[in-house]
Homo-oligomer: A and B are copies of this chain.
Amino acid sequence: KDLIEMQQTKKADPNDPFASEPGRHPALAPSSKKPFNAEPPQELLVDNYITPNELFFVRNHLPVPQVDMNKYVLTVGGEGLKKHSFTLDELKEKFKHRKMVATIQCAGNRRSNMMEVKKIKGLSWGIAAISNAEWTGVYLSDILAHVGLSDPENRGELKHVQFEGLDLDPEKAPYGGSIPIEKALDPSGDVLLAWDMNGEPLSRDHGFPLRVIAPGIIGARLVKWLSKVWASPDESPSHWQQNDYKGFAPQVDWDSVDFKKSPAIQEYPVQSAICEPKDGTVWDDEEEVTVKGYAYSGGGREIIRVDVSADGGKTWHPTELVAKPNQGYNRTWAWTLWEASVPLPKDAKGKKVELCAKAVDSAYNTQPESFKPYWNLRGVVANAWHR
């Protein structure tokens, strides 16, 4: 239980934009402290189907804002629409509350694995920039209907819903992201504006008082400290939508890259990783090894199978999907935990054993065998077999 005590950040230089960061759990290993970015230990990740709030990975792009709830309002509107504003209490009163379990994954998850092929600028995420929680909030589609935007056939030139956060860059521009308007308007898209995570108000690191949960979509679009929702013909103009979080072919480098040529990532492809045993585990006389991990796919696609190999992918063993959601066709927003007892190769004694895992989703999408043909200069959507 002492593991979930909070560690208080020391008070620092008040001119430091990061002077008022919240405390964090000591088990969160930061890949960056300012802004704070950290993932939980991988073995704790698969211990819990619902990630405890204190262990949920943190991905901040900017300093954590301090929100004065006496002044907080959410602005909602769009080109050609009347502008509305809501306090958090008004949102809670006006719209039906919804609960939903959804996994969030950073588009940079497993970047460190991809970096083994070739260096990449960016945070060196391990395999745990992913977590799962139950969110409570209201449907974005209900709010958009309330402000006059409901019928998908009648939305004219509006193609995206942009979000802005209260977190500001050094030029005082907010963090931003957008999602396709089809996803935002579709009740089956299950996009929430959420104030609650696992039965507690959002912590400061996770977006207090309100964040976007657009399930099945990369974390970067799930704007925290949400201040503005804006329907537009255009995607978010933010750096993170326009010039980051896009994939490219492996031959594209920083000299040749043209960010306009690739679409902003929305849905994530199928992913899985082995959380136990950890790299470098040494076995004695065991004939079998227990392997545990997670699997997840974007766009509401369900995990239908995970295979594990103890000989680098020559032969495969089935796994049991030990904890999985039952959320329906193309609305499966939560991850699957899996486990297997895998026989070690007969000749393994004294040698290195290469475990690997690969998942299949309900559209029969698979993970690539290796990173090299899919290396990209931003190190995003790194989903090759985990070895």
Contact = CB atoms under 8 A, between A and B. Distances in A.
Interface of A: 152, 180, 182-183, 186, 188, 247, 249-251, 262-263, 265-270, 298-299, 301, 304-305, 307, 313, 315-318, 328-331, 358, 360, 362-370, 373-374, 381, 383
A43 B304 CA distance: 36
B373 A267 contact: no
Contacts of A329: 180, 182-183
A266 B182 contact: no
B307 A269 contact: no
Nearest to A189: B330
A316 B376 CA distance: 12
Contacts of A317: 251
18 contacts: A152-B188, A180-B329, A182-B188, A182-B328, A182-B330, A182-B331, A183-B330, A186-B188, A249-B305, A249-B316, A249-B318, A263-B362, A266-B362, A268-B364, A269-B365, A299-B301, A299-B363, A307-B373
Given A152-B188, A249-B316, A262-B305, A269 B369 contact: no
The SS class assigned to the A binding surface is: loop
A313 B182 contact: no
Given A328-B182, A369-B370, A363 B267 contact: yes
Nearest to A363: B267
Contacts of A269: 363-366
B251 A363 contact: no
A383 B360 CA distance: 13
A267 B328 CA distance: 14
Contact of A363 (B268, B315, B331): B268
A194 to B, nearest CB: 21
Given A269-B366, A365-B269, A262 B374 contact: no
Given A251-B315, A262-B304, A363-B267, A358 B373 contact: yes
Given A247-B364, A270-B365, 12 more contacts: A152-B188, A180-B329, A180-B330, A182-B330, A183-B329, A250-B316, A269-B366, A316-B373, A358-B373, A366-B374, A368-B369, A369-B369
Nearest to A217: B363
A301 B263 CA distance: 13
Contacts of A363: 266-269, 298-299, 365
A307 B373 CA distance: 10
Contacts of A262: 304-305
**A249, A251, A304 interface centre (most CB from chain B within 10 Å):** A249
A360 B247 contact: yes
**A186, A360, A383 interface centre (most CB from chain B within 10 Å):** A360
Contact of A313 (B152, B362, B373): B373
A268 B363 CA distance: 5
A158 to B, nearest CB: 13
A159 to B, nearest CB: 8
A263 B313 contact: no
Nearest to A328: B182
A265 B361 CA distance: 11
Nearest to A270: B365
Contacts of A247: 360, 364
Contact of A365 (B182, B186, B365): B365
A362 B249 contact: no
